[in-house]
Each structure stands twice: as structure tokens, then as C-alpha cells.
Structure 1
């Protein structure tokens, strides 16, 4: 029952719908009391030979009219009640998605994708079901049960009513115990379903790798184990669930037995008529639904409560990065980076130390260094995925922590080292950040990213569906489409995180030339392993172990002993060997 208290904010807000549905349920409950009363009148009239055929037809007509009115009223309250519960589903999913979109990358290290999907779908459905069917069964069973009890005790016999209700307290205690067991077991079952969902999601997204390594049987075994575990936990839920109805039917059977024994004794001694006993038995039959409904209500509410606790635990998590209140000026500004020290949450040692750089509009900054040197970490804190405890980053002289996240990130266009494409057309993937962009603008961005000709060679050109995660495209094509997507935004600051690693040298050179022309007045930050991508940069930071080991322009760094010089010579040698190999193959042909 605690779920109703937890959702009280929504019930209060939507009180008109819920109050209207409750009012109609009360009317329906009262109307349902008429048929047993009428049947008792007919039985007594027929027994005493006081009722003619016309009277029977009239009373039957009243019962039919009552049935029609009840049908219409049930239709109206379902629209009111379930309309309100479905609106709750919309709001919960919107809040859930908004919460996910506000979370930093660290949040997704702690929560698996399959689990998040399960909470947004299955758990929300359980809560909504409880807010609809749960409220219905609670009100309907209480109103109907209380109305029937009042009529039975006041209109027929309070002694017989008391006798018939003797099994009910025992039934209530047993059902409460079942409800507590169901809450715990269903929570475990939902967690197992999340694991199964996560296993499914991972298998589907990595199916190419699974097939390439011949791991189908191994993955099938892991999935079967997860499915068995989920099945076993759901079976434990079903075992508790299966105890509700037998308990209720035993209680109802005992009530009927006591009613027939006690009622027969009262009829025999003239304290009750046969018609009244018939009405009482019919009223007792009406009590079957309230008792079944109460048990069902306990069932679905406990399931909803377990699901709600999983949803609330996630919605209650505060974002790792707090939103600011200021909006930066609309004109282009200077980006100042001053990091004394930065550590990831829970890390024992800093990931960045002593990094200071200032970028004016129109300048290009290059980042390079061995794997794990801190390049992507620096780009993450520029995007405010994490905040810096020691130091700050300023834009227009305003610390990023004081800026609104949406206003700051709207000034950025980012291409990550693992480009992501949606299962949509090429044109829609490029226009992701500007859905209203014209075809001409989309093509211009594609030309700047040097992917226009590749797109035209696709079966339907810009209308070609790229498949799940761009499965039908090469790595270089996906990177260049992602670059085109970023360029179409016309953002003030462009960030490329090793976004040219999958393209050849000639294509890379052409893209960089286009970026240089496009970037006039804009700030460009490029992190790359291939040093030729940084040749146009105004300044290059060579990062090692989270700090700046060298800095300068391409020519000066190439002539300076150190990591940059060694890596540049190695890459030049590698490029020369590749050209010789291509030349030999061309000569043999």
C-alpha cells in the first residue's frame, strides 16, 4: 500500500479524474446491489403466489436496465482512470529520459544499458498498472464490499453476516504475508530481467564480433544461463502469486458453508424467509469479487512498489555535474584552460596535472601523446562531463561551472573517436543537430568532410539507410559522416577526438584543408595519434602521464628531441614503406 503514498503527488494533481472515477465506481456498486434484492422479491412473491407474470417481467426489465447503465458507467470510468494512469507513464518516461541525458559518463559505468531499458519499460509499466488497475481494484473492492456488508447486515440479518465473515480475518493476515513475500521476490525477478535484457542488448550490438570469433555457442550458453536464472526467479514469484486465489476460495467456501448452515437454521425457525436467504447468498456471491480484487490489488501494488523503488533509486541520483545559471555572450570568445589537477571519481591518482592553454577564436589546438596520456580526459572536462576541483576552464572569462550546460554545449560540435550513427538515412544522420537543415546545407557539410562522393555512390544516395550503428558503412565513412554532422552545426568550437584515424592520408589532408577554411574565426581542438593531422595547428600539446611534456608548432616539435620527433619519424618511415608497397603492387599489375 505504500505505493499509493509514494504516488500521492500524482493523485493530488489529477484529483478530478480520480475523483470522477471513484464517484462512478460508487454508483456502479450501488446499482449492483439491486439485482439480488429484486431476485429475493421475485422468489418471495412466487413462493407466496403474490406476483403475476407482468410483475416478473417488470422486475426483469429493471435488472436489464440496471445492467445497461452499469455498462455505460464502466466505460466512462475506465476512460477517466486509465487515461490518468497512461499520462503517468508518459511523465515517468520523460523524467527518466531527462535524468539519463543529464548524467555524466561515470553514471554509465555503474549502470548497464539493459538495466536502464528494463527500468524505462517494464518497471514503468508495473507502476502504471498499479496506478490504474490498483486504484480500480482498491476502490471497487472496498466500495462494493462495504455496500454489500451494510445491506446484508441491515436488510437481512446481522447475525448471519457476522457468521459468514468469520474466515475473513484469517484470510487477510495470510494475504498480507503473501504480499510481503511477493514484494521481495518480484524485486529480485526484475533485477534478473534487467540482467537478461542487458545480455540480449550486448549480444545484438556485438553480433559481428561474436560471429567473427565463432563465439555463437559460448554466447548462447551465457544467454541460456541468464534466461534460466530469470525463469527461476519469476517461478518463485509465481509460486507466491499462485497462493492468493486458493486462499481466497477456501475462505469463500467456508463463508458459504457457514451461510448455508446458519441460514437454514434461521429459515427453519422462521427468523428468515427463503427469499431473504436467496438474496443473502447472492450478496455473498458479490463478495467474491471484492475479496479476489483485494488479493489481486495486493499483488499488483506490491509489484508496482518493487518497480517504483527501482525507478526512484535512479531518479534520485543527482547529476555529477551541476548546472550553472549564466548564459555566455553571443559573440565568439576566448577559451582558457587552467587545470592544476584532475582525478576521476574514485581514482587514487590524478589523470591531468598542470595544463594551461589559451585559445582565441580562429586558432587550432593539437593534442597528441601515447595511449592513456590524458587527451580524451582533457576533452571530456572541456565538454563538462566532469568538473575540476583544482583549477577551472573559462569561456569569455566565465568559469564553465557558472554556465548553463545547454548554452555551453550548444557552442560545441564534437566528433568522438568512436562515431555513432543512428539506423536512419545518411541525410538524417548528418542533420541530427539541425533537423530543419536544407538538402543543400547537408551536401555542403558532406563536401567539407570529403564524403559527398562516397554518399552519391550509395544505392539511394543521401536517402540510403545506414543500418544499425551504420553497419553498412566503412569506418572511414562513418567518421566523415560524423564530421559532416558536426560541421553542419556551425558551432563556435569544434572538437575532433581522433576522428581521422580511419581515413587515408590523402583524405585526411583534404579534410584538414577544408577545416582550416571553414574554421576561420572558430576554435578547433584536434586530438590525434597520426601527427600529420596536427600539422596545421597553431599550437600542439604533447601529453604524457596526464601532463604537458612538450608544446609548440609542428616544425619546432619535429626538430626537438622527444616523443613527438620519434613518433613523427616513425610515421614518416611507415608512410614511405606503404608507398613502396603500393608502387610494387602497381608495377606487378
Structure 2
């Protein structure tokens, strides 16, 4: 029961594609009818020969014997053609069975993958901090594939088994109930075997999927960090780690294969036992005059017709258990709900005023207190710089303003309204964000710039690239703006990636621009060029400049100095220099570093 409780999530898809399921069941029924009729024809043909053989020999040497032979030969040939025709019809309806039930499984696979992917995108950053990429990928690929085996082949074979049992056993009982009882005697043993193996299969399937997730994560990290891996000459260590994970996966798979391997010999043995019983008990019934040799032949055909469905029963059970284990893993993530939801779903054009009141924030996964009683008020069109050392809470502010997280205490307001009132999509579409950890997509430079606005004209793309001081580099590439930059922008330098990320943010013409330490990988000269361009860009929009470099903060209207989540100083550049405090100390250290 626990198995089907996990798979209950799929019932909505089975209801959606119910006509595939209904017609598949009908076609299964019809195809099995065309499989049963030949057995009856074989019985008629055998009994015909058996009953008329004495008459044939009675007319030995006469002309009637030849005529009788022609009649018998024609009858047998007719039976042969009928059996061939029925076999062709059975094959045609089996084709229709697969065109309904297997096609249904592909539709469900498509819908389930889209459901998982769409759900992933609704989950907050805290979810992604707690789960690795390999595990996410395994659940949307490997686990969904195993679920498809349940809604496709498993259901198909299960329906076929039920239909065939009803039809075949019904015919067998109508012929001879005693012989049918003996033939079916081994089946309860098979049912007990299925029950005993069920828990072993599902347990080992879960272990395999967890092992596969770890192996996928190991591979993904190795290839994503291939430059670091090579520079530290750790290829052999990485290969050894993969070999260890792969070996663990192999061992767990072999343990499950051993259980699966029990099914076929056990079913073959039970079917063989059924054949022996048919011959032995059927022989007694013939001697008693209750059955004919044709009936025994018919029974043998029926028993062999049940051979594959009974063998498939073990396979179907195993696949269903695997699917249940996989669906349980999928349900774990589908049951995760985001707490970043809009309270009033407000959709409006913002002016850009930002206010944080007595904000405290604790990261839910690690318990780290990033901000303590932090307050900030930036008027529309004003630029504010957040300055501080690593770990002071600067990047956390960017996450709160873009509402990647909700505050632990206090509140964040945009244009005087709580940020939770706004529709998330509408709000974020009016923001431009340049993250500290630049992420670029494996696409052309143009498409990376217009990522937030796919219909952006090329002229706007080029203007944004000029403002980010990247135009000269791009036109020097052989393919210009259509240059594909490789995974995560691997073909670009660190500074080029940062400037491309800036171009992507400002190309959207956002009302709020957030720059999170985005000039750390560029030299001083390039930084000055970009900052001069940003002065013009920031003139009509609210800007939050997060940095550890004083040079980036100088152009802001107001500077806030953070230390360990607390505001230690704030004011203009000249005011803070006059204080001779933390800001002046940072300024002097960085100025000396540049001179050196």
C-alpha cells in the first residue's frame, strides 16, 4: 500500500490521459481474444483428425479414401490460414496497445519533468543552498525515467496480465474446472514470493538512487571546476573519487540485480510444473472420457500463453517498486513549498525608493547572523554604496532587496509598500542585478546581454556593452556579438565576464540597479572607465553599490560602512574621510596598495 501511496501523485496524469488508458485496455482485450481463438482452432483441428482417422483407414484402397484425404487436408489448411489471420490481427492490436499505453507514458514523462522543473524555479535560494545540483538533476532525469516505466510498460503488462487471466482462466474453467485448479496451483507460490521480495526491491532501489545522485554531483563538480582541477594536478584524485562512487553504485545495482535474477528461473520452474500437471491430470481426464487430446493441447497452449505475463509479473512488480522509490524522492522536492510569496500580488511601475527598517537576517540553513538591526533609506534616483570587508553582510542586502530571502525581523519597503505586497515577477523585472559570482550562459554574447529581455533590439545590446566598456573586446572576436562564450563564460577573462554581467543588468533599463562587488576582477583603469559610464547610467535610477573597494563607493551619494552585520559609519565620502574612522582606514590602505 505504501508503494501506491507514493505513486498516487501520478493519478492526475492518468486521469488527464484516461482515453489513452481506456483504449489501451480495449485493444489489450481484443488482442488477447485473437490470441485465444487459435488455441481453440488447434483443438478443433486435432480432434477432427483424431475422430476421423479410423474412417480414413476404413476406406483404405478405395476412391473415397482419396476424397476424404482432400477434405481433411483442406480443413487443416483452412484452420492454418485462420490461425495465421488471427495472429496478424493480434499483432495489429498489439501495435495499437503500444501506440496508446506507451505513448501515454511519454506524455506523462514530459508533463512530470515540466512540473518538477517549474517547481524547482519557484523554490527559494535557501533550498538550493541545502541541495546539490547533481541530486536535482538525478530526480528530474533518472527518477522520472523510472516512473515512466511504471506508467508505460508496467501498466501495459499489468493490464495484459489481468485481461489474459480473466479470458484464459474463464475458458479453461469452462472446459474442465479440475484441471484448471491443478494448473493454477503454482500461482499462489509466486504471489507469496512477490510479497517477500517487495520490501527488498524498494529498499535497494532507494539506495541505488541515492548513490546515483552522489555520483552525478561528483561528475558535475569535476567538469564545472575542470580548470581548478587541472591547475592543482588532481586528475588522478578526481578519477579515484569517481571510481569509488561508481563502484558503490555498481555494488548496489548488483545486489538489486541478484533479486531480479530470481524471478525468471522461479517463473519458468512454476510454468514447467503447470505443464507437467496438465499432462498428468489431463491424461487421467482423457482416460475417464471427460476430455479429448485436443483439450490437452489447448490447455498446454493456454499455459504457455500465461508464461510471459506470469514472468512479467515479477518484472512489473520490480519496476513498480523502483518507480515508487523514485516518485518518493520526487515528491520530497515537490512537497517543498516556497515561503517567498506575494501577499497582495501588486503589479505596478515602481519609482525606486528603497527602505530597510531594523532588519535582522539569519540564514535558515546555516544559522549565520548576517545583519543586525540594519536600516537604510534610499530615495528614488539616489545612489547608496555599501562598503565593508568580506563577511560583513553586504551581499545579503542584495538578496533581501531582490527578495531572494525574507528578513528574519524588521521589514523591507519599496516605494513605501512592504516588498511582500509586490508580485515577484513584476518587481524583479524592474531591477538590474550584477552578482558577485558572475554566471553567464553557454550562448552568444548578444543573447547573454538580452537575457532578461529576449526581444531587446541589437542597438540597445551594443549600447549596454559600450557602457560596460566591453565593446572593443567584442568587435575583436571573429564572430563579434554572435560569439558563443562556452559554459559559464569559460572563454572570457574574469574582467570580461564581470563587464558582460554589468551590460546584462543595465540593458534592461531597470528602476533599481544593484551592483554586488562587480568590479573586483577589473583593473583600476577599466574600473574608472566603467564608473564614469555608470555615473550617467545611475543618474535616473536608484542604485545600490556593494563593494569592498573605496574607489567604487566614491561616486555614490551616500556611503554606509558595514562590519559584522552592523552599520559602523555612514555619510558622504568627504564626511567619512573627516571622521578618521573605519572608512578612512580602508581608503588609506587601498590607496597605498594602488601606489605599490
TM class, shorter-length? over 0.9
Aligned to 2:46: 43
How many residue pairs get aligned? The number is 576
**What is the rounded CA distance, in whole Å, between the counterparts of 1:396 and 1:270 in structure 2?**
97
Structure 1 stretch displaced more, 121-130 or 80-89: 80-89
Indicate the larger mover: 272-281 or 288-297: 288-297
Q: Deviations over 1:489-537 (max 9, x none)?
A: 1111111110011111121112122122122321111111111111110
Aligned equivalent of 1:437: 456
* TM-score of the pair, normalised by structure 1: 0.95
Of 127, 152, 164, which residue of structure 1 is paired with 2:172? 152
**1:519 alignment partner, one of 519, 538, 558:** 538
Cα pair distance change 1:222/1:347, threshold 3 Å? closer
Please report the RMSD computed on the Cα atoms of aligned residues, expressed in angstroms: 1.5
Match of 2:105 in 1: 85
Question: Could you tell me the TM-score, scaled by structure 2's length?
Answer: 0.94
Find the aligned partners of 1:350 and 1:515 in 2 and give their Cα distance.
32
Q: Secondary structure at the match of 2:182?
A: helix
The reply to whether residue 123 of structure 1 matches residue 126 of structure 2 is no
| Cα drift, residue 340 of structure 1 | 3.6
Give the drift of 1:180.
2.0
In the TM superposition, 1:338-353 aligns within 5 A as 338-345=357-364, 350-353=369-372
2:352 and 2:586 map into 1 onto residues whose CA distance is: 34
CA distance in 1, matches of 2:367, 2:298: 77
Q: CA deviation at 1:488?
A: 1.2
Q: Where in structure 2 are the equivalents of 1:75-224 lying within 5 Å? A: 75-154=95-174, 156-224=175-243
- Given the alignment, which residue of 422, 427, 451 partners 1:403? 422
Counterpart in 2 of 1:73?
93
Q: 1:75-474 alignment to 2 at 5 Å?
A: 75-154=95-174, 156-345=175-364, 350-474=369-493
CA distance in 1, matches of 2:350, 2:118: 29
SS of the residue 1:9 aligns to: helix
Q: Does the Cα contact within 8 Å between 1:374 and 1:543 map onto a contact in 2?
A: yes
Residue 21 (structure 1) aligned with residue 40 (structure 2): no
Alpha-carbon distance in structure 2 between the residues aligned to 1:251 and 1:63: 28
CA distance in 2, matches of 1:221, 1:235: 21
Please state if 1:12 is matched with 2:15: yes
- Give the corresponding residue for 1:585: none
* SS, match of residue 423 in structure 1: coil
2-structure distance, mates of 1:235, 1:339:
58
Partner in structure 2 of residue 582 of structure 1:
none
Partner-residue secondary structure (3-state), 2:515: strand
Change (3 A) 1:122 1:464: same
Equivalent residue runs for 1:427-576 within 5 Å? 427-576=446-595
Instruction: Render the CA deviation track for 1:339-371: whole Å, top value 9, x for unaligned.
Output: 342222255563212222222222111011111
Structure 1: runs of 5+ lacking an equivalent? 578-589
Q: Secondary structure at the match of 1:52?
A: helix
Contact 1:328-1:396 at 8 Å conserved across structures:
no
**Is the 8 Å Cα contact of residues 130 and 304 (structure 1) preserved in structure 2?**
yes
* Structure 2 Cα separation of the partners of residues 5 and 557 of structure 1: 63
Alignment correspondent of 1:54:
74
Contact (CA 8 Å) 1:115, 1:198: kept in 2 or not? yes
Cα separation, 2, equivalents of 1:464 and 1:426: 6
Give the 3-state SS of the residue equivalent to 1:336 in structure 2: strand
Deviation at residue 120 of structure 1 after TM alignment: 0.5
Whether the 8 Å CA contact 1:339–1:393 is kept in 2: the answer is no
Are the equivalent residues in 2 in contact too, given 1:178–1:244 (CA < 8 A)? no
Separation in structure 1 between the aligned mates of residue 274 and residue 235 of structure 2, nearest angstrom: 58
Cα distance in 2 for residues equivalent to 1:291 and 1:525: 68
CA deviation string 1:388-418 (max 9, x = no partner): 1321111122111122211221121111111
Question: Cα distance, 1:252 vs. partner?
Answer: 0.8
Q: Output one character per residue of 1:264-293: Cα deviation in whole Å (capped at 9) or x when no partner.
A: 121223221111111111111111122012
Pair 34,4 (structure 1): closer, same or farther in 2 beyond 3 Å: farther
Per the TM alignment, residue 49 of structure 1 is displaced from its structure 2 partner at its CA by 2.8
Sort the Cα spacing of 1:520 and 1:10 in 2 relative to 1 into closer, same or farther, 3 A: same
What SS does the corresponding residue of 1:272 show, helix, strand or coil?
coil
- Whole-Å Cα distance in 2 between the matches of residues 4 and 561 of structure 1? 66
2:260 touches 2:315 (CA, 8 Å); kept in 1? no
- Separation in structure 1 between the aligned mates of residue 269 and residue 349 of structure 2, nearest angstrom: 74
440-449 vs 63-72, greater mean Cα deviation: 63-72
Q: Partners in 2 of 1:193 and 1:234 — Cα distance?
A: 10
- Give distance in 1, aligned partners of 2:583 and 2:247: 54
Of stretches 536-545 and 12-21 in structure 1, the one that deviates more from structure 2 is 12-21
